[in-house]
Structure 1
Amino acid sequence: MLRKIRSILWKDVFLFVVGGDIYIIMEICYRGYSHWSMFALGGVCFLGLGYINRFFSWDTPLVLQMLIGMLLITTLELITGMIVNVCFGWGVWDYSQKPFNLFGQICLSSSVGWYFLSAVGIILDDYLRWWIFGEEQPHYCLFRKKAIVSG
């Protein structure tokens, strides 16, 4: 039992670090800078994307997984933004000048971007779990229950 818990924790820590690193790199490429809190947010988002296939079946269409991922990331960004920007006043980001924003912490254009980036995160997590941890080989359906991608 303890060995299984340790294995799960090791996977989650590894994937958290991968997700945090990717998020920081994306921000630096897009904005030219980042903040340490974005490492934590990226790690949690990546773990969340990875758990979509654990809570739903592999037969869940990828477009639906992407929608779930978008909603997850947007929600986590709102919560993080309310903490780091509104409560702590760190000014990590401000979307108040963008149309369709909520409290300047999330906006529609970013959510649309997260929709498409969710596919990358979902697939990357699944393949890392397969290659490194020997979990089930990834397979997806785009809209219906017909496999479209197989390793």
Structure 2
Amino acid sequence: MKNKIYKDLILIATMGAIYMVLEGVWRGWTHISMLVVGGLAAFFIGRLNEYSKFYDKKMWQECLIGTVIILVLEFISGMVLNVWLKLGIWDYSNTWGNLYGQICIPYAVLWFLLVPLNVFVDDYLRYRLFGEKKPQGLLKNYIDLFTGR
């Protein structure tokens, strides 16, 4: 049990750090809270990928489920961090299809397209850090997404 918690915390922190780097490159800055928010989103998607009912799905289905996970976490954390605590980390109020300025359709599309990367990175980290099964490859994830496999 202790090893499982340790492994989960390593994955959350590593995936959160990776997310912070990607967000920093995309937006020009990030916030320390994204270590937790991004890490948890990536971890939950990766955790789902550990169950056969999830990884037996087509990649586009995995992307839909992953996008929902991200949007739920983004909305909840946005309501707490941006609305309740007034930290102003992000604001999609001027973006088409937004909900209370915390989530929006254009970013939902981006999250959808990033899920195959998330799945690969989670699998790769599990392979390199914990000796689990070697991932099939990032390119395969995207080929599967765009070919409907």
Tell me if TM exceeds 0.5. yes
Structure 2 counterpart of 1:89, which letter?
K
Residues 52, 65 of structure 1: 8 Å contact kept: no
Q: What is the rounded CA distance, in whole Å, between the counterparts of 2:47 and 2:21 in structure 1?
A: 22
Post-superposition Cα deviations, 1:76-115, rounded to whole Å, max 9, x if no partner, equal 0000000001111111110000010000000000000000
> Structure 2: 5+ residue runs without aligned partners?
none
State the TM-score, normalized to the length of structure 2: 0.86
Aligned to 1:100: 97
Residues 16, 46 of structure 1: 8 Å contact kept: yes
Runs of 4+ that moved beyond 6 A = none
State the TM-score, normalized to the length of structure 1: 0.85
Aligned to 2:12: 16
Q: What is the rounded CA distance, in whole Å, between the counterparts of 2:22 and 2:82 in structure 1?
A: 20
Higher Rg: 1
Matched, 1:117 2:117: no
Q: What is the rounded CA distance, in whole Å, between the counterparts of 2:77 and 2:54 in structure 1?
A: 29
Which of 28, 33, 39 lines up with 2:29 in the alignment? Answer: 33
TM alignment of 1:1-151, pairs within 5 A: 5-55=1-51, 56-139=53-136, 142=144, 143-144=148-149
State the Cα RMSD in Å: 1.6
Q: What is the rounded CA distance, in whole Å, between the counterparts of 1:31 and 1:37 in structure 2?
A: 15
Please state how far the C-alpha of 1:18 moved relative to its aligned partner: 1.1
Which stretch has the larger CA shift, 131-140 or 5-14?
A: 131-140
- How many residue pairs end up in the alignment? 140
Residues 55, 62 of structure 2: 8 Å contact kept: no
> Structure 1: 5+ residue runs without aligned partners?
145-151
Please state how far the C-alpha of 1:72 moved relative to its aligned partner: 0.5
Q: What is the rounded CA distance, in whole Å, between the counterparts of 2:117 and 2:67 in structure 1?
A: 12
Instruction: Looking at secondary structure, tell me which structure has more strand per residue.
Output: 1
Please state how far the C-alpha of 1:131 moved relative to its aligned partner: 2.5
